[in-house]
Structure 1
Amino acid sequence: MQGAEVLVRILEREGITDAFGIPGAGINPVYKYLKDSPSIKHYTMRHEEAAVHAADAYFRASGKLAMAICTSGPGATNFITGLYTAWIDSIPLIAVTGQNITSLLGKDAFQCVDIASIARPVTKATWCVTDAKELPEVVRKAFHTARSGRPGPVLIDLPLDVQQADIPFDPSTYTSLPVEKPSPDPVKIKEALDLLDAAKSPCMIMGGGVILAEATAECVEFAEYMQLPVIMTYMAKGGIPAKHPLCAGHAGIQVGIPLGNRILLDSDVVLAIGCRFTDRHTGKIDVYKGNRKFIHIDIEPTQIGRIFPPALGIVADAKLALQALLAEAKKRGPRRQPSERVRNLPTLREQLKRKTDYDQIPIKPQRVYREINEFYDDETLFTTGCGLNQIWSGQFQEINKPRHYLPTGGAGTLGFDIPAAIGASIATGKKRAVAVMGDFGFTFLVEELAVAAKYKVPITVLVLNNANLSLIRQNQKYAYGFEYAIEMKENKDLIDYIKVAEGFGCKAKRVTKPEEIKPALAWANQHAGPSVIEVLVEECTDCSMGMSIDSIKEFQ
């Protein structure tokens, strides 16, 4: 069996049903066998980076692996931003790249680049397979590596002669490597309960690792049993319903909300599960940590104490840890009674809510998110990339289910939104996916609209057009005292985004008044394929943020 066919048969055995890629001379032997695969459907993208974003969001939405595949040279190097985006957010996927023949490696041959080395810093592992007989075991290890521990993307680079080499392989004998999940130390579970029971104002932080572990139900159940306010990191948005009595929203210096920051600052013990204490969540560490005692639970040992030493660190799978915590809590007594602080949380949520009911023209960006919350149901998927539009999305959007809000968290990748919406929709049987983005970000990977049109993927691209690099403008203005090279007047006066969208086979509509937003969203939902809605918004609206969670500068 040729190496290329061996790869395809293993992909089938490992459960891959969807692949996103672009064929090319360096990978065509694999495409020969993909063509006749009874279980793998291939979607031809229009940029290699978009293939990775689609595979990435496919997993974010479904918890199921997808493949990104492309040819060698610049095709392979175009994977890098997508791989980084997935890696920093702990999203597993299988990336496969074509390569020149092994005898030409390192000899500056045409489109022959050491992609395995280039990609190594932004993946969990990479392999350049130079011996065809090793291919089955490499692929087996790749799947295991992607799934185990802190998950992440892996890359397999396949020289043409390896793809075409004949090797003995029987697909019926292939088995996946089992993924072991670390259980928590029972002694440390008891210590965690000791700290929580002794606390006067404890809270919980639900991180993205809780969603990756499919443990949101266990997390909410434990919070309810212990009557703990739940703060979500940005990657955990939707892990607890927005209006749940214990939901405190986000804490942080950007997507954080006043309630989340207040609850965290008022806490004396913090149980943090599946989070990494990244800078835009914590802000200034001395303020964030204060005199609070942190219990940090994470599946990745190197994360414990990486940012600051916790009072207690537990290496464990989030689901297993939460199950153990709940069992120990039940041994110690009945469901806890809510403190006055906890009872007042829903009232405080309403009191501290930022204003969104603006009526003026040009439209205030905040109003757009109010309309989004009122119009879409809980089954709608959302993607977002980077910019003030993304930060407002994190602050204002109310999400009630896990795996329905899919942002690029650690990378802040412009261009993620549209291909991610495509991948997420395909992963979920073509649910409606809404890409919330800005006018500048729209021009990154906009060509993927043609992919959505070709395959009739029901995505709505919502473009908040303020004709500005608004996040950069705000940083320049308040951090450095100047504004330069950030005006994009041409995005309203010269470039016609409606015609651009229609040129890629989409329906498109422009909105200029607040009362037009909801009808436009309804109009887009009527179409089986992609639609673009351009909302002309106020040009220089500032977004509430700051350097530490106790000193957020509020803007309207």
Structure 2
Amino acid sequence: MNESIRRVDASVAGRLMISPVKAGGQTMSGAQIVASILKLEGVKQIIGFPNSELFDACAALDIPPVIARTPRVAVNIAEGYARTVADGELAVVTVQYGPGAESAFGGIAQAFNDRAPILFLPTGYPRGSEAVPPNFHASRNFRHVTKWSETAGRIEHLPKLMHSAISRVRNGRPAPVLLELPVDLLAEKFDPTNEVYQRPRRSAPQGDAGEIAELVKTLLAAKNPVVFAGQGVLAASATKELVEFAELLRIPVMTTPNGKSGFPENHPLALGTAGRARPATVDHFMDKADVVLALGTSLTRSYYILPIAKDKVLLQVTVDAGDLGKDYLIAQGVVSDARSALRQMIAYVNQQKHVLVDRADVMNEIRSIRSAFRERWMPLLTADSEPISPYRVVWEIMQAVDPSNSVVTHDAGNPRDQFSPFYEAVVPGSYIGWGKTTQLGSGLGFALGAKLARPNATVVNLMGESAFGMVAIDFETAIRCHLPILTVVLRNNVLGGYAASMPIASRKYGANRMSGAYAPIAEALGGYGECVSLPQNLRPALLRGLERVGKGQAALIEVVTHEEPRLPGLS
């Protein structure tokens, strides 16, 4: 079956033909056709749970399955992979029709908000019964959390529909794309003689030259411009160009939570991440900014992202025209891929030979504020308290890992707000941040996906016990699928911060209380587990966990901490 799809003349970029090898033709099932196209697209694995006709069809072509323990975590793994992998590689996830698709909804909703380019191929009820209640019709129900959601109706249309789906994954705003595959269609046979499959390529649109010139002139005329870089910088692999542009104009750069690592945070012009909790450099330079260039960001208003004041001149560059002016009034919007726009802006500045404003003191100003911020929080970062301060955990992780060869992520809630302001991400894709919808437990799947994408990197995820409780059994997926990651679980026996929103229920009935131990769970599932209650034992435990990870075993370090309400930028 794998010989039934062959590559046409290499001079025709990406042109593939489905044709029989044997005389008289050779029929293929719908599942085999889909799997063959995935093989030609270079797909390295197919992620999912619990059952799909695509698993066997892909396995026959040496595309291994990665089976999670829940559909939601399977989608989280695909998101982590999509946001960490090299350009052009597809993150593919499949689930069983009915309850599998229903259970995957939360993960796809998270990926939609995170703008993760995932190819979602759920199986569907047999044709004719998909719209009969209570059958769950995936393509109908997922339309608000995907940018394209369709059902395959005829087997001969599969090559065309797969081309259309993959084209949408690669182009435009990143988002999940859904093609529902009815189980009877996947089993149906078809002779694909002379069927042509054209491999979709990515297009990187660029802005109008006049619009780019106007945008640059506004920045050059500004007294205190700031770049607010989003995930579009990462999606376009535009970090190199962003660094060049920032250095050319001496403009400070901050990132959105999803864009963290898009600009190296150890750079003299880096301000850090403008999340709900944030370093003082962000507040200082956003307060004094007169012009803000929002680059590669949808400028979505979110509880977890620093809002932009109305008195700023706001410029927006985004690949999606639907983002322009969506949540903020903007002075100018340009529809462009982030890297294309940066190259145009750099070329314009160099060609026009503008006299650049002298901002020689800006880096000294950043350095001074950053140093004062770190000094102010150092007593918490190095605290010797018992139970352990969560900031001490953040500090010890920062000392234990090499940020140039690591991928780290946080989970929702306090782990995010305590970790993101301090951890310096220095390599593109080395930090999976999220700041729109923030479903507890997503960080574990993101870490597994990152390890799948970058097997030689050290992958660490920081979670609270509530988050771990949502997905704990998928720690076994790390072991079974040979994805050694380090999970750090903060255990303070409460839902951190939730007592404030339900004070009566917490006081009378302990509604915010949690209990349990988590290191034994890791050991029971086949991993390395260790619990730490003394601050002096924390770094040695982390190093032991990293040593186990380096030897191929997933590890979990449980840290007994106290609840900490103080957050950078909010306290």
* TM value normalised by structure 2: 0.89
Pairwise CA distance, 1:251:
2.4
Q: In structure 2, what is the Cα distance between the partners aligned to 1:400 and 1:419?
A: 22
CA shift digits 1:480-533 (9 cap, x unpaired): 998676655542xxx221221111111100111222111111101111111110
Partner of 2:418: 392
Percent sequence identity over aligned pairs: 26
Alignment of 1:354-503 (within 5 A): 354-355=377-378, 356-378=381-403, 379-476=405-502, 489-491=513-515, 495-503=516-524
1:144 and 1:417, CA in 2 relative to 1: closer, same or farther beyond 3 A? same
- Work out whether 1:55 is the aligned partner of 2:61: no
Q: In structure 2, what is the Cα distance between the partners aligned to 1:483 and 1:394?
A: 31
- Work out whether 1:345 is the aligned partner of 2:366: yes
- The answer (yes or no) to whether the contact 1:207–1:273 under 8 Å persists in 2 is yes
Pairwise CA distance, 1:383:
2.2
* TM value normalised by structure 1: 0.91
User: Which of 329, 339, 344 lines up with 2:349 in the alignment?
Assistant: 329
Partner of 2:33: 6
CA shift digits 1:378-412 (9 cap, x unpaired): 21111222111121111222211111111333220
Aligned residues: 533
Pairwise CA distance, 1:31:
2.8
Partner of 1:548: none
Partner of 1:162: 185
Q: In structure 1, what is the Cα distance between the partners aligned to 2:80 and 2:39?
A: 20
Pairwise CA distance, 1:240:
2.2
Q: In structure 2, what is the Cα distance between the partners aligned to 1:13 and 1:309?
A: 44
Say which is worse superposed, 365-374 or 326-335, in terms of deviation.
326-335
User: Which of 292, 313, 337 lines up with 1:270 in the alignment?
Assistant: 292
Partner of 2:274: 251
- The answer (yes or no) to whether the contact 2:274–2:282 under 8 Å persists in 1 is yes
Pairwise CA distance, 1:336:
5.7
Q: In structure 2, what is the Cα distance between the partners aligned to 1:215 and 1:66?
A: 21
Structure 2 unaligned blocks of 5 or more = 1-27
Partner of 1:85: 110
CA shift digits 1:358-394 (9 cap, x unpaired): 1211111111111111111021111222111121111
Report SS of the residue matched to 1:239.
Answer: coil
Report SS of the residue matched to 2:190.
Answer: coil
- The answer (yes or no) to whether the contact 1:431–1:458 under 8 Å persists in 2 is no
Q: Which amino acid aligns with 1:364?
A: S
Partner of 1:510: 531
Q: In structure 1, what is the Cα distance between the partners aligned to 2:60 and 2:306?
A: 55
- The answer (yes or no) to whether the contact 2:123–2:183 under 8 Å persists in 1 is yes
CA shift digits 1:204-224 (9 cap, x unpaired): 111111111100110111000
CA shift digits 1:109-129 (9 cap, x unpaired): 7xx311111111111111111
Alignment of 1:146-225 (within 5 A): 146-169=169-192, 173-225=196-248
CA shift digits 1:424-448 (9 cap, x unpaired): 1011125221111001111111111
Say which is worse superposed, 82-91 or 125-134, in terms of deviation.
125-134
Alignment of 1:131-150 (within 5 A): 131-150=154-173
Q: In structure 1, what is the Cα distance between the partners aligned to 2:247 and 2:370?
A: 18
CA shift digits 1:81-137 (9 cap, x unpaired): 11111111111111111222113222347xx31111111111111111122221111
Partner of 1:123: 146
Partner of 2:22: none
- The answer (yes or no) to whether the contact 2:464–2:489 under 8 Å persists in 1 is yes
- The answer (yes or no) to whether the contact 1:9–1:171 under 8 Å persists in 2 is no
Q: In structure 2, what is the Cα distance between the partners aligned to 1:73 and 1:65?
A: 25
- The answer (yes or no) to whether the contact 2:160–2:197 under 8 Å persists in 1 is no
Q: In structure 2, what is the Cα distance between the partners aligned to 1:367 and 1:518?
A: 10
- The answer (yes or no) to whether the contact 1:225–1:336 under 8 Å persists in 2 is no
Say which is worse superposed, 163-172 or 464-473, in terms of deviation.
163-172
1:431 and 1:57, CA in 2 relative to 1: closer, same or farther beyond 3 A? same
Q: Which amino acid aligns with 1:400?
A: V
